[in-house]
Amino acid sequence: MDIPYTVQPREDTGLFNAKVGIWLFLASEVMLFGALFSSYILLRIGSPDWLYGEAKHLNIPIGTFNTAVLITSSITMVMAWASLKLRQFDKYKLYLGLTVLLGLVFMVVKGFEYRDKFQHGLFPATHTFYAIYFTLTGLHALHVLGGMAMNAYLWGPGSKMWRTEPERLTNRVEVSGLFWHFVDLVWIFLFPVLYLL
Amino acid sequence: METHDAAVFKRHIRQYIGVFVALLVATVLTVAVSYVHFGAEDSHVGNVTVALIIATVKAALVAGFFMHLVAEKRSIHTMLATTGVFFVALIALTVFAFYDSPGSHDALKGGRVATEAVAHGH
């Protein structure tokens, strides 16, 4: 039996089912990160010795670079989807491939940042700031990894669907893109909150 | 000849590029303003407010254009508005609970004194 409403919109919602599903999932993600952001606020206003500025030992140029990397990956993601809409499969492969690569660049840079912290003896248990820093950035990095896995599948074996069900693949890429943009959106708040304030 | 859909998507692509440039500029702006102190000398409220305003504008650009919320169905808008209410309630309840607990103001005052002592090397 075929899964219904993968391409055609449902009469009551006016949307294909996966789009409703991903938005519901993203709503739950807002609450997940919301809980951690409220923890950050509570820890910050309640801490007698919160770390500010250089005392955090966070590298602002590297954080800025990673922000630019994720923003760039967001536009390549949306261009991958737009390429499918324009029936340009080669461009789709190029843009989605770039999106996965940019995700990898973000993770490698984050890995170097983590290594630098550990080498300087800065661990989650070192200070309340580092506890919430590693929790927030760690959870975010897991989301980046999840998004990369999904996009890598849609770039590789999943792209075969273009030959049989092009509209369905386009919708899958749109849903994957919504998740990827959400990951970018979370980082847009994490960067100033953790690195700059 | 170009189809109507193709022309529409090409217009969208120009929009995406515009949003991309705006996001990069806003990122540079976020970093630049972090080196300027806003508000009272011993307070971070001004800088937090400015940084969160810029971040909110960036997030609105991503959600509005890259996630197509500007042209999305009403059911999605309703779902997100509900989420927004719960998100604000979650943050507000946490902060209210903190300031409502006995002695939280004294603890905060003591914290500031301790932080200043560290900053001045005492």
Walk me through the domains of chain A, giving residue ranges and CATH numbers. 17-196 (1.20.120.80)
The DSSP code sequence of A142-178 is: HHHHHHHHHHHHHHTGGGGHHHH-HHHHHHHHHHHHH
Q: What pLDDT sits at residue A16?
A: 84
pTM for the whole structure: 0.90
Cα distance between residue B49 and residue A67, in whole Å? 20
Q: What is the pLDDT of residues A10-26, one digit of tens each?
A: 888 888 889 999 999 99
For residues A117-140, average pLDDT: 96
Contact at CB, B114 and A185, closer than 8 angstroms: no
> Looking at beta carbons, which residues of chain A come within 8 Å of B118?
49
Q: Is B34 on the interface with A (CB under 8 A)?
A: yes
Burial classification of residue A119, based on how many CB atoms lie within 10 Å of its CB (0-12 exposed, 13-18 middle, 19 or more buried): exposed
Cα distance between residue A46 and residue A128, in whole Å? 10
Q: What pLDDT sits at residue B2?
A: 58
Contact at CB, B95 and A47, closer than 8 angstroms: no
For residues B61-89, average pLDDT: 94
Cα distance between residue A86 and residue A29, in whole Å? 31
> Looking at beta carbons, which residues of chain B come within 8 Å of A14?
73, 75
Q: How far is B59 from chain A (nearest CA, A)?
A: 6
Structure token digits, residue B102? 């006995």
pLDDT band at B98 (very low <50, low <70, confident <90, very high): confident
Q: Which of B52, B56, B51, B58 is nearest to B19 (CA)?
A: B58
**Contacts of residue B58, Cβ cutoff 8 Å, sequence gap at least 6:** A188, B23, B26, B27, B30
Cβ burial B83-98 (10 Å sphere, 16+ → b, else e): beeebeebbeebeeeb
Q: Is B7 on the interface with A (CB under 8 A)?
A: no
Burial classification of residue A102, based on how many CB atoms lie within 10 Å of its CB (0-12 exposed, 13-18 middle, 19 or more buried): buried
Q: What is the pLDDT of residues A32-57, one digit of tens each?
A: 999 999 999 999 988 888 898 888 88
Contact at CB, B86 and A35, closer than 8 angstroms: no
Which of B17, B76, B98 is the closest to A45 by Cβ? B98
